[in-house]
Amino acid sequence: MTDLSPVRRALLSVSDKTGLIELGQALAARGVELLSTGGTAKALRDAGLTVRDVAEVTGFPEMMDGRVKTLHPMVHGGLLALRDNAEHVAAMEQHGIAGIDLLVVNLYPFEATVAKGAAYDDCIENIDIGGPAMIRAASKNHAFVNVVVDVADYDALLAEMAANDGQTSYAFRQRLAQTAYARTAAYDAAVSNWMAGQLALEAPRRRAFAGELKQTLRYGENSHQQAAFYIDGSNRPGVATARQLQGKELSYNNINDTDAAFELVAEFAPENGPACAIIKHANPCGVALGATLSEAYQKAFDCDRTSAFGGIVALNQPLDAETAGKIVEIFTEVVIAPGASEEAIAIFAAKKNLRLLLTDGLPDPRQPIVAMKQVAGGMLVQDKDVGHVDLADLKVVTRKAPSDAQMADLLFAWKVGKHVKSNAIVYVKDGATVGVGAGQMSRLDSANVAAAKAQRMATELGLPESPAKGCAVASDAFFPFPDGLLEAAAAGGACVIQPGGSMRDDEVIKAADEAGLAMVFTGMRHFRH
């Protein structure tokens, strides 16, 4: 095997015709013979190029609605033959098999077909067979064969050939083969996961996950860690699909925090009013509703002004000029919203380091999604926490029942608590967080942290008392002992929402009654590790 290998004969068969004509013209100009199938051959011929049908090479017509066209020794022999193996060369001569030096294939649009909600049989028909078979064959024989599966690699191929007088280097072919194998792996993963869903298999014996590189990152959580951002093609509104209008490249931590912020604010439907969430290190430092977006932002910011510095702001409605003007008063890393006015965009333009991400909508907080977490030697897989409770789901367990206003704050606090790292305690008053205790080793500690945050808010805003006085309290899991509940009551809590289910529920309920609290159980917890 020599390092450089010439490209004399190419087989092109693509569903995505982007760039096809330009590629075909460039190859033909170098004297490369073009083989093709179906619609690809027609497109090339319509552009005035000379193309030989694969059916002519194999001696068999395309049949069975195109299911059988390239599955033939004349094709696979041309892809798999080792050019420096005398027996392979002799077999090619004996059977009239000509080598194929370049394979350009992109697969039937299975993922897109599923994404648009097509019927089962339509999805099945969009499972490519011949394409993956050829890709795998060409990739295995990358010592001599180039395989291109991405339109993005057309220019690189032509540049490589131009630099090497119509030849390609072994290192280049290796890189193409790696990309090709990853593509077929991702394709098979999409098919197998779709079928698992169709069969309602909660835990398939084998499960594959795949992603496409969106961007390489400067580093990971810390500067000594390498990192990259991959997308799964699901098109869920959020950081993966947003348009970045300005600001420097997102970092690993920016992406993680922005996702946390947007998923949280999506809990509040825009038709129910403006909402804002400010996130720091994947935890909310302030979340609020408001009569206007500007008011919602101000209330969220006031909850913890110190932590909001350098944070992520997520909005459930398009960014307007008034809100933009307030946001730029302090340093903010990222703002993500479902749109923005031209006036707001102009205000942000003066802050070149502020990233502005715009989406085409909000993610559905109840959409079932598979969530993964890597552990040593394996991976934990679960459904994303899309648990939701409504007013009718709440069970009043104390002598005192919450008022309507308190119920509204309790439900708001519950939605926020779902997005706070466990152990989580959230204090809410008048549709805004006033204290958040996150990620502590005990629920008592989280209640203390939330109380301290509320007291600092009082100091920063010059309030006569802690805003936690009379607040609603949410706990992401049950109180195992009365101490955490009583700590929240001492901070000013007037009503509590929690899952219930502790062996000591009776003790906790008795303590709530003695403290004059109203308390409701949800029957659902929201651990977030």
If you write DSSP's letter for every residue of 507-523 in order, what string do you get?
A: HHHHHHHHTT-EEEE-S
Tokens at residue 124, please? 């099945």
The partner residues of 330 in beta bridges, in order of sequence, read none
Q: How many residues does the chain have?
A: 529
Half-sphere exposure of 85 (CA within 13 A, CB side): 11
Question: 3-state class of 290 per DSSP?
Answer: coil
Q: Pick the catalytic residue: 72, 88, 214, 281?
A: 281
Long-range CB contacts for residues 47-56, cutoff 8 Å, separation at least 24: 47/21, 49/21, 49/24, 49/25, 51/24, 54/11, 54/13
C-alpha of 239 from chain center: 7
- Please name the residue that has the structure tokens 């920063």: 460
| Residue 475 and residue 425 in contact, taking contact as beta carbons nearer than 8 Å | yes
281 labelled catalytic: yes
Beta bridge partners of 229: 215
Residues facing 275 on adjacent strands: 289
Nearest to 474 by CA among 529, 505, 421, 519: 519
Secondary structure class of 525 (helix, strand, coil): coil
140 catalytic, yes or no?
yes
CA angle 438, 423, 301 (to 5 degrees): 20
Coil, strand or helix at 79: helix
Q: Are 340 and 361 a contacting pair, CB within 8 Å?
A: no
Contacts by 54-57, CB closer than 8 A, 24 or more apart: 54/11, 54/13, 57/98
Which one of the listed residues 72, 88, 140, 400 is annotated catalytic? 140
The one-letter amino acid at 57: V
CA distance 432 to 216: 37
Strands 243-246 and 425-428, by their bridges, are unpaired
CA distances from 90 to 72, 96, 99, 424 (A): 18, 10, 12, 72
Which tokens go with 277? 């969430």
The secondary element (H helix, E strand) that includes residue 433 is strand 433-437
* Residues that are catalytic: 140, 281
